[in-house]
Structure 1
Amino acid sequence: MSQHAHSLKEGNNGKPVAFRSRPWAATLILTGGVFALILGMFLSVSFGAADIHFAVVWEAIFQFNPDITQHQIIQEIRLPRLLGGAMVGASLAVAGAIMQGMTRNPLADSGLLGLNAGAGFVLALCFAFFPGLPFMYLILYSFLGAGVGAGMVYGIGSLAKGGLTPVRLVLAGAALTALLSALSEGIALYFKIGQDLAFWYAGGVAGTKWFQLEVMFPWIVAALIGAMMLSRSITMLSLGEDVAKGLGQRTALVKLAGMIIVLILAGSAVAVVGAVGFVGLIVPHLTRFLVGVDYRWIIPCSAILGSLLVVFADLAARMVNPPYETPLGALIALIGVPFFLYLARKERREM
């Protein structure tokens, strides 16, 4: 039995098109990742400014006593923070995987392509003009801002001579991100909402509450299910639009559905944790390296690995300089920036 499992389809030129997958590796990642995530959850709940023994964690989850302070810390602060981090990591990773598959752009990521900046700009407007807006509306406006940001980046990148290339798309994203960030900071200074916006820009799950999870949970679950339903079509798109059309795919419909899913996932995540970038860039590349190019495996494995990355990065953010916290976005950027530069250099060599 060969190392790679092959799925063969006939393309529009009559030749078979193969996409490699490694089901055994994907199964190992899914099972091992779940166990690692459970371990990370116990560590994340136990360690922080106040270390709590595992036995107390178990009691707080299954025999909650509101009169015990440690139980209150676990139930009201650490559990929502942990679950929020896991959901956000899965959302950003799957959003990045879908974007990279649909656009065949290895540099695609919600933070690099204007989604985070667009959502942040709209949230700054909400903080300034509609203070106290319910979280449900913040998520909806975050979706709107993410969509506007992505649309502007694609529009600006397409204006260049020679059309849209991966590097031009990232340059357009960087330019628009700088513009929208400057406008957001100007709004923050004028309306004196700098502290709220600074906390959002730093990125983190420290302030996650149960009501936020209740609002974002159905959106994220529905989007993840939609991503799995769309995974086969995204695999075909990743082989090239001509190949996908030759295999009977309605590419315009697939791209529309994929973009809606990306906006829901990225918009929900950004509304909760702020401008945390690079999760959707790093995780899909690592997943493809491990399991192959079949998105029926890439999407669930990206969700698990994205959750692991954010949960352990959040744990590290608390342990680097206790009792103070290092911004989550800064820790992930320490990995993400060198990885991005490596990909950009590789992409430039291949142009």
Structure 2
Amino acid sequence: MTTPAASVSRSGNGRLIGRAVWLPVGLLVAIILLVMVLAISITQGAAELRLSTIYEALFAYDATVFDHLIIRTVRLPRVVAGVIIGAGLAVAGALMQGLTTNPLASPDILGISAGAAFAVVLGTFLFGGAPLLVTGVLAMSGAAVAAIIVYALASAGRGGATPAKLTLSGVIFAMFTSAFTTAILILDRNTFEQIRFWTVGSLAGRDWEQVLWFGPLVLVGLIGALLLSRQITTISLGQDVAKGLGQNTAVIKAFAALMVILLAGGSVAIAGPVAFVGLIVPHVARVVCGVDYRWIVPFTAVIGAILVTVADTVGRVVLRPQEIPVGVMLAFVGAPFFIYLARWKIR
């Protein structure tokens, strides 16, 4: 005779086995979908190309064929840059939401992207343009300073850094720095001409040099996020739970914050302050894989890459031969999603 306890045990084991099978398969399906989206994206632009031309450009490259040259030097670095910033910003948002237990936390909402962008614009204004190394340092520094200021503002007063105070502090800081950024662009035409598209979040003109400079920074951040994923899962369940399990939450948060700076700073250095990726994608990933950050991080990275690639592709074809920057395309989706979260999720 089967006891109720035995039935429950078998049911629980069945669910665990089901998740153990489903999650790797789901991730593989997402990766395959990403590859398909990338292939389609490479074919689209001012002129459409065939998928067979992509294969030839990759495996039978002929420098005298114009289409091969376009794929290798223009479209391929652009889609790789899109994958990098999509994965980087999405995982940065997932880490921030887990660390702060704030469903609205993301690099753009909490002012991290705005701080990085302001630092780059200020450096361009002061030095008349900067090498890529300096741009990266400025973006990282701006992101770090922004994180410190926003957390300090949110921690002031009673109750500490609550989700509502973090969000409000981040929005205020982002508006403040954006005002200075806009003032610089208005007052200095040279700075405006250099980075006018970059400031709204754009993949246009991205090349291999930018990918090779800043891609490794984002890659380090992604690896660090994976290594911290188990600890972030515990922290996301509550500070008391994490401390009860013997975790040093201060050290974990410090390392996770460093990963956020690498992810957000590197992404902003490539394409400017692309908004809403870090806000939307982690919530989508949780619907798919639950609260375990060992799965949230890889799912978030892949879904973020898909989202940015699709947005960039649509932006290239909807008003062809003109382009809509990827940051503008994402705002059409992200703004309503932000309103939904602010209305129903935050307390």
**TM-score under structure 2 normalisation?**
0.93
Q: In the alignment, residue 50 of structure 2 is paired with which amino acid?
A: H
How does 1:334-345 map onto structure 2 within 5 Å? 334-345=332-343
Contact 2:37 2:309 survives alignment (8 Å): yes
Is 2:326 aligned against 1:328?
A: yes
Q: Which residue of 2 aligns with 1:10?
A: none
Matched, 1:52 2:49: yes
Cα distance change on mapping 1:304 and 1:284 into 2, 3 Å? same
Distance 1:32 1:108 in 2: 28
Query: Which residue is 2:5 aligned to?
Result: none
Contact (CA 8 Å) 1:317, 1:328: kept in 2 or not? yes
1:186-225, CA deviations, whole angstroms, 9 ceiling, x for partnerless residues?
Answer: 1222222223332122211112110111112221222211
Whole-Å Cα distance in 1 between the matches of residues 178 and 260 of structure 2? 21
Q: Out of 39, 62, 71, which is 1:42 matched to? A: 39
Instruction: Report the counterpart of residue 5 of structure 1 in structure 2.
Output: 16
What is the aligned partner in structure 2 of residue 86 from structure 1?
83
Please tell me whether the aligned partners of residues 204 and 327 of structure 1 are also in contact (alpha carbons under 8 angstroms). Answer: yes
Corresponding letter in the other structure for 1:331? M
Which residue of 1 is the match for residue 298 of structure 2?
300
Distance across 2 between alignment mates of 1:291 and 1:225: 19
Residue 22 of structure 1, CA deviation:
3.7
- Does residue 258 of structure 1 match 2:256? yes
Conservation of the 8 A alpha-carbon contact between 2:197 and 2:325: no
Q: Using the TM superposition, give the Cα deviation of residue 152 of structure 1 relative to its aligned residue in structure 2, in angstroms.
A: 1.3
Show the counterpart of 2:192.
194
Q: State the one-letter code of the partner of 1:257.
A: F
Q: CA deviation at 1:41?
A: 1.2
Q: Would you say the 8 A contact 2:203–2:325 is kept in 1?
A: no
Aligned to 2:307: 309
Range 331-340 or range 75-84, more displaced: 331-340
Deviation at 1:23, TM superposition (A): 3.7
Q: Note the aligned Cα RMSD (angstroms).
A: 1.6
CA distance in 1, matches of 2:109, 2:221: 21
**Is the Cα–Cα contact under 8 Å of residues 315 and 326 in structure 2 kept in the other structure?**
yes
State whether residues 215 and 266 of structure 2, in contact with CA within 8 Å, keep that contact through their aligned partners in structure 1.
no
Q: How much does 1:160 deviate?
A: 4.3
Q: Partners in 1 of 2:22 and 2:68 — Cα distance?
A: 39
Whole-Å separation in 1 of the counterparts to 2:112 and 2:22: 32
Unaligned segments of structure 2, at least 5 residues = 1-10
Tell me which of 222, 230, 255 is aligned to 2:228: 230
Q: What's the counterpart of residue 286 of structure 1?
A: 284
Question: What is aligned with 2:128?
Answer: 131
Q: Structure 1 counterpart of 2:226, which letter?
A: M
Shift of 1:25: 3.9
Aligned AA for 2:176?
L
**One-letter amino acid matched to 1:194:** F
Match of 1:15 in 2: none
Deviations 1:283-339 (A, max 9, x none): 111111110101001001101111111111111111111111112111111111111
Q: Give the superposition deviation at 1:47.
A: 1.1
Aligned to 2:273: 275
Query: Could you say which residue in structure 2 is the equivalent of 1:175?
Result: 172
Which AA in structure 2 matches 1:110?
Answer: P
Secondary structure (helix, strand or coil) at the match of 2:32 reads helix
Once the 2 structures are TM-superposed, how far is the Cα of residue 269 of structure 1 from its aligned partner? 0.3
1:197-216 matches, within 5 Å, as 197-216=195-214
Q: Residue 242 of structure 1 is aligned with which of 216, 240, 243? A: 240
CA displacement at 1:51 relative to structure 2 = 0.5
Return the alpha-carbon distance in structure 2 between the equivalents of residues 173 and 25 of structure 1.
37
1:4 shift after superposition: 4.5
Following superposition of structure 1 onto structure 2, how do residues 151-162 of structure 1 map, counting pairs within 5 Å?
151-162=148-159
Aligned residue among 27, 30, 35 for 1:30: 27
State the alpha-carbon separation in 2 of the partners of residues 195 and 161 from structure 1: 45
Alpha-carbon shift at residue 162 of structure 1 (Å): 3.7
- 1:18 counterpart residue number: none
The 2-side partners of 1:72 and 1:323 are apart by 19
CA deviation vs aligned residue, 1:58-79 (integer Å, no higher than 9, x gap): 1111111111111111111000
Output the TM-score relative to the length of structure 1. Answer: 0.92
Structure 1: unaligned runs, 5 residues or longer = 7-20
The number of residues matched between the two structures is 335
Aligned equivalents of 2:299 and 2:89: distance in 1?
13
Larger deviation: 165-174 or 118-127? 165-174
More helix, by proportion: 2
